Amino acid sequence: MKLVRHGAAGAERPGLLDSAGRVRDLGAHVADIAREVLRPEAMAALAALDPESLPLVEGHPQRDLRLGPCVGHVGKFIGVGLNYADHAAEAGMDLPQEPILFTKWTSSIAGPDDPLSLPPGSTATDWEVELGIVIGAGGRDIDMADALRHVAGYCVVNDISERDWQLRGGGTWDKGKGYDGFGRIGPWLVSADEIPAPHELRLWLEVDGHRYQQGSTATMVFGPAELVAYCSRFATLHPGDIIATGTPPGVGMGQKPPVYLRPGQIMRLGIDGLGVQTQHVTGG
């Protein structure tokens, strides 16, 4: 099951993709793809619906029908740093002994294909394709053996980062990770039953057709189950919370010399089975 939020920014409606890739409206069944709707029993009720019985939404998703962030009203947006050994090496940082956690402010969340406006004066805005874990059954101190049972589904995340603010301005990483539009989620939330091996997914990212990132979640230092369990040690996880699990090598900061985003460029990124995002870069 692929769940979406469609329509104008701030007024998205819930929907799901049918077998033809068209959006069917879920407004008669749920208010949004958010919070309690992501609990296991609610997800099971949505999965039991016949998509063909739902109203067909006009337009084609990601063409003439805008898709918003695939999860609404996110409570916590947790990032994981340096979770691929080869990415840590390109960043010149030691391999972590425990997951490195940071927060992306929820105001950074934007639709998968909305234009990216560079922060004023930024010269070091970078890209990071990542697997996103969306929590379904909340909990605290979750056992790793049970962790994936707490997952509603998975999505593509672009953890956009301003490197000057993240690394060279002092303080924590959060300000370099939290600018408006720096948290792209979607195009859809794919239910966990459709992704039986989240630790074996191919990720990629291109800028203007040049492929910078190419990797697999198989090379994560800490896998999805371990990350869910670890994050739940420090905060109760709630339905709709998102964990961005880290990025493979190929970020702009790791190029020699470094390469960063410029107005007029186009980013495309995707993960096998989870869809593709496209972002036009503006501003700066």
Domain residue limits, the chain: 71-283
b/e code 99-111 from CB counts within 10 Å (16+ = b): bbbbebeeebbbb
Label residue 247 exposed, middle or buried (CB < 10 Å: 0-12, 13-18, 19+): buried
Higher-confidence residue of 130 and 174: namely 130
For position 168, what pLDDT does the model report? 81
Q: What percent of the chain has pLDDT over 90?
A: 90
For all residues of the chain together, what is the average pLDDT? 96
Predicted local distance difference test score (pLDDT) of residue 212: 98
pLDDT band at 284 (very low <50, low <70, confident <90, very high): low
What tokens appear for 39 in the block? 């609990």
Which alpha helices (H) appear in 14-158, and where do they start and end?
40-47, 85-90
Does the bond joining 187 to the residue before it have cis omega, within 30 degrees of 0? yes
End-to-end alpha carbon distance in the chain: 38
pLDDT at 78: 98
- Beta strands (DSSP E) in the chain are 2-6, 13-17, 23-25, 77-81, 100-103, 109-110, 116-118, 125-126, 129-135, 151-159, 161-162, 183-185, 189-191, 202-207, 210-216, 242-244, 266-271, 275-283
CB 267 within 8 A of CB 261: yes
More confident residue, 283 or 92: 283
Give the mean pLDDT of 161-170.
86
Q: What is the pLDDT of residue 60?
A: 98
Residue 93 scores a pLDDT above 90: no
Is residue 65 very low, low, confident or very high in pLDDT (cuts 50, 70, 90)? Answer: very high
Alpha-carbon distance 108 to 160, whole Å? 9
The pLDDT of 4-21, averaged and rounded, is: 98
Q: Which CATH number fits the domain 71-283, given the four candidates 3.90.650.10, 3.30.497.10, 3.90.850.10, 3.40.50.10860?
A: 3.90.850.10
Alpha carbon distances (Å) from 237 to 9, 14, 83, 93, 116: 26, 23, 20, 29, 29
- Whole-number pLDDT of residue 123: 92
* pLDDT at residue 269, rounded to an integer: 99
pLDDT at 237: 98
pLDDT band at 62 (very low <50, low <70, confident <90, very high): very high
Question: Is there a contact between 107 and 271 (Cβ–Cβ < 8 Å)?
Answer: no
Residue 45's pLDDT band (cuts 50, 70, 90): very high
248 contact partners, CB below 8 Å, separation of at least 6: 84, 86, 87, 129, 203, 213, 214, 215, 216, 219
pTM summary value: 0.96
* pLDDT at residue 174 in the model: 87
In this prediction, residues 249-272 reach a mean pLDDT of 97
Closest CA to 134 of 50, 216, 227: 227
If you average pLDDT over residues 126-134, what whole number do you get?
A: 98
- Banded pLDDT at 27 (limits 50, 70, 90): very high
Q: Is the pLDDT of residue 166 over 80?
A: yes
pLDDT at 144 exceeding the cut of 70: yes
Give me the pLDDT at residue 90, please.
Answer: 75
